[in-house]
């Protein structure tokens, strides 16, 4: 039987009960106590906090996200489990214009699964009840136990707006050999299947109280939370400023929802859409009967740099593979966009944990 301990969160002075088999972050979020976090898979180090007192099991914390010399005084709350009462101190700077909702458990039913790009599918889920969340947040999926071992958790971002609280859209990219994708979503998951999910998680959300020109950069399925933000900002009239989306892909077969975003740009004067191709040329696009003028060519960062002499006064939202996010971060900063005005979320997978992928440019 699991034993429970008391977690004291400073500087809030809040106390939360946490089981010894439960990550400290999970216990806090379910109790409505917000702690900084991003990947929730012990990779990005966003959830690193000071351990003032008490003992923990560091669990699957990678040696890159939590170095050996740090383990006596720090921990990753997403994987640390208490072995005594614990006091932690975290940098908690919650924006007043964003309401954070407690994490809860739901039962999801798969409504549809459709291929939308190379090695990419769209999932539409129906939850057993409404869920409150912010545009840009994500859910944790429980991947059923298979021949390779016990059930595991995987996280995917919500691509639909908060005004659709029960029917949720997700974009999932195939990871060869991945338990969640290759071993479940792309293999066995079928329409009508039911499975547990929990959420909402994450702080990469649309700041609706702002009216700056937002520069949104999405690579791969990093488009999912960006799409939720755009739909919420435009369709629900929650954002007054200009919004520009740069969607990067190697070629057109890797891009998706292009027609949707083009129609959105036609409908809303405040929105500009820039799909970018890094490996397909204008000549190849023309030869295929498509209009080269509808695309940017080269790395998405090169297109951004060519489009803007300065981005001073703008806001940045970056999401996708870690290397793309880091490159976009450098580009926006070189165009006079300050780090405090750039929101980002890297999409890590289990391979990134082993490789130690991270970015030192901005403290999470």
- CATH no. for residue 278? 3.40.50.80
Between strands 81-82 and 56-57, the pairing is antiparallel
Q: For the chain, which ranges sit under pLDDT 70?
A: 94-96, 147-149, 349-364
Q: Are residues 333 and 312 in the same domain?
A: yes
- Residue 141: CATH number of its domain: 2.40.30.10
Query: Both tokens of residue 8?
Result: 């004291």
Query: Has residue 360 been placed in a domain?
Result: no
pTM score over 0.85: yes
User: What pLDDT does 62 receive?
Assistant: 85
- Is 361 a domain residue? no
Query: Does residue 301 share a domain with residue 221?
Result: yes
Same domain? 15 vs 123: no
Both 65 and 109 in a single domain? Answer: no
Residue 266 CA, chain-centre distance (Å), reads 27
* Rounded CA separation 170/106 (Å): 16
Strands 271-277 and 152-157 turn out to be: unpaired
Domain edge (last residue) among 55, 89, 123: 89
231 and 308 in a single domain? The answer is yes
Question: Looking at residue 351, what is its pLDDT?
Answer: 56
User: What's the pLDDT at 94?
Assistant: 67
So what's the pLDDT on residue 360? 34
Range of the domain at 127: 104-201
Co-location of 317 and 232 in the same domain: yes
- Specify burial of residue 242 (Cβ count, 10 A radius: 0-12, 13-18, 19+): middle
Both 119 and 81 in one domain: the answer is no
Q: Which CATH number does the domain housing residue 28 bear?
A: 3.10.20.30
pLDDT at 256: 98
Domain identity same for 345 and 230: yes
The verdict on 192 and 228 lying in the same domain is: no
Question: How confident is the model at residue 210, as a pLDDT?
Answer: 83
């Amino acid at each position: 039987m699991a034993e429970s301990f008391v977690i004291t969160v400073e500087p809030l002075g809040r106390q939360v009960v946490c089981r010894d088999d439960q990550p400290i972050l999970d216990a806090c979020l379910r109790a409505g106590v917000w702690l900084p976090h991003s990947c929730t898979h012990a990779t990005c180090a966003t959830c690193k906090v000071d351990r003032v007192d008490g003992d923990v099991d560091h669990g699957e914390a990678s040696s890159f996200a939590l170095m050996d010399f740090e383990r006596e005084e720090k921990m990753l709350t997403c994987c640390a489990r208490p072995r005594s009462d614990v006091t932690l101190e975290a940098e908690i700077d919650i924006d007043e214009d964003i309401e954070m909702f407690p994490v809860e458990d739901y039962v999801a039913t798969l409504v549809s699964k459709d291929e939308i790009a190379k090695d990419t599918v769209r999932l539409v889920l129906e939850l057993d009840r409404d869920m409150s969340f912010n545009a840009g947040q994500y859910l944790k999926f429980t991947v059923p136990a298979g021949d390779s071992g016990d059930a595991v958790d995987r996280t995917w971002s919500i691509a639909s707006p908060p005004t659709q609280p029960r029917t949720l859209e997700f974009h999932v990219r195939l990871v060869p050999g991945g338990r969640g994708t290759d071993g479940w979503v792309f293999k066995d998951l079928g329409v009508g299947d039911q499975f547990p999910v929990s959420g909402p998680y994450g702080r990469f959300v649309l700041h609706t109280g702002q009216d700056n020109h937002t520069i949104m950069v999405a690579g791969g399925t990093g488009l999912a939370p960006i799409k939720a933000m755009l739909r919420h900002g435009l369709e629900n009239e929650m954002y007054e400023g200009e919004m520009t989306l740069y969607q990067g892909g190697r070629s057109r077969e890797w891009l998706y929802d292009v027609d949707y975003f083009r129609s959105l740009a036609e409908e809303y004067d405040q929105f500009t859409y820039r799909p970018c191709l890094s490996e397909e040329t204008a000549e190849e696009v023309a030869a295929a009967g498509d209009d080269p003028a509808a695309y940017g060519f080269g790395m998405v960062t090169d297109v951004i740099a060519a489009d803007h002499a300065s981005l001073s006064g703008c806001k940045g939202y970056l999401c996708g593979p870690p290397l793309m996010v880091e490159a976009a971060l450098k580009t926006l900063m070189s165009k006079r966009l300050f780090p405090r005005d750039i929101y980002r979320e890297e999409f890590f997978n289990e391979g990134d944990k082993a490789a130690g992928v991270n970015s030192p440019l901005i403290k999470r």
